[in-house]
Amino acid sequence: MTVTLADVAARARVSPATVSRVLNGNYPVAASTRERVLRAVDDLDYVLNGPASSLAAATSDLVGILVNDIADPFFGIMAGAAQTQIGGPGDGSGRAGGEKLAVICNTGGSPERELTYLTLLQRQRAAAVVLTGGAVENPEHQAAMAAKLAKLADAGTRIVFCGRPPLPEGDALVAALAFDNRGGGRRLTEHLISLGHRRIGYVAGPRERTTTRHRLEGHREALHAAGLGALPAGGDAGGTATGSGDQGDDPLVVHGPYDRRSGYEATLELLRRAPDVTAIVAANDTVALGASAAVRDQGMRIPQDISVAGFDDLPFSVDAVPALTTVRLPLFEAGARAGRLAMGKENPPPGGIATIAAELMIRGSTAAPRG
């Protein structure tokens, strides 16, 4: 049975004219109404089964690049690099030039917005979609993502993950370029242990992100190998940076967002819980800046009193004072490769999955503990 615009309107509890305005984007519509309409479009599969079904296999000149936060250099570098490879010969379009329009979709870390953007890109029959950064570890969201990406792939859209592992059901992917976050986290903590540190605090990212889990697992693997801690039985534990008192079973781990403020507040909490820590590992370089500020505000020096380390090797890391010990991820190279894969300019890796190595960068913010 053919799904009509009226069916979508009924499902969303709006008028057909409102549905048309949302889909055409030519008239202001309240955000809540827009979300409701797009959910109805997705639930009823209006794009694939409605009047546009005859064009389902066609693609436009649009490429979507999904990021959590375009203001974060981690995502900005990858998105910019991917954009450099979009357009030009070899994109498989069969047209002269083959230029594409790259659109940056900023989800704000919201799983709902991620699905909404994919629905909009499906509606526009996007030529390709590049999804950057860690994924949300929620079975319901993962299932919804797998279904949505399968619909996009069926319509001819090329799907590339950049900096995130494939979904459990990842058959729709052209390729997944996954960073070795676990290995990088392990090598970073091994470095601190080799300097003599035995009490190491950890400022982790949001609990539900794959990046958070993998980096923390690497950290704990290194501690376990050195006889400094037990591996978690299942999942990770630890407190939050909100001061809620949820400390879990590891007082040396505090969770929070991937931002400077979280790094500052979480470090104060770590120092309150464990004044004897001699090193702090931050979830990323931005968090490390906040951690460093908190250490200084407590009257301590880096690295003489406390060593601080980050992750990602963002451009400002080498210019911090002292320069930040961190783990380098080749963000630009990965983004450019994702762009080439999305455009068909490069063959997918064997099995469709490639693990991108992480490199330890030892700088002035880490040193042997005093005494």
Judgement on whether residues 91 and 149 belong to the same structural domain of the protein: yes
- At which residue do the structure tokens 């064997």 appear? 350
For residue range 111-157, what is the model confidence (pLDDT) as tens digits? 999 999 999 999 889 999 999 999 999 999 999 999 999 989 988 99
Judgement on whether residues 83 and 228 belong to the same structural domain of the protein: no
Judgement on whether residues 10 and 147 belong to the same structural domain of the protein: yes
Report if residue 167 sits inside a domain: yes
Report if residue 309 sits inside a domain: yes
Report if residue 230 sits inside a domain: yes
Domain of 320, in residue numbers: 181-331
CATH of the domain at 87: 3.40.50.2300
Judgement on whether residues 251 and 304 belong to the same structural domain of the protein: yes
Judgement on whether residues 32 and 120 belong to the same structural domain of the protein: yes
The pLDDT of 224-253, averaged and rounded, is 62
Judgement on whether residues 227 and 322 belong to the same structural domain of the protein: yes
What is the pLDDT, as a whole number, of residue 65?
A: 97
Judgement on whether residues 157 and 195 belong to the same structural domain of the protein: no
Judgement on whether residues 23 and 148 belong to the same structural domain of the protein: yes
Judgement on whether residues 67 and 42 belong to the same structural domain of the protein: yes
Percent of the chain with pLDDT over 90: 66
- Number of compact structural domains in the chain: 2
Judgement on whether residues 21 and 135 belong to the same structural domain of the protein: yes
CB 354 within 8 A of CB 163: no
Judgement on whether residues 72 and 109 belong to the same structural domain of the protein: yes
90 confidence band (pLDDT: 50, 70, 90): very low
Report if residue 356 sits inside a domain: no
Q: How many CB atoms are located within 10 Å of the residue 278 CB?
A: 22
Judgement on whether residues 238 and 137 belong to the same structural domain of the protein: no
Query: Is residue 115 classed as helix, strand or coil in its secondary structure?
Result: helix
Element housing 39 (H / E): helix 31-44
- Residues whose CB falls within 8 Å of the CB of residue 148, separated by 6 or more in sequence, listed in order: 42, 115, 118, 119, 122
Answer whether 0.75 is exceeded by the pTM.
yes
201 confidence band (pLDDT: 50, 70, 90): very high
For residue range 251-274, what is the model confidence (pLDDT) as tens digits? 999 999 999 999 999 999 999 999
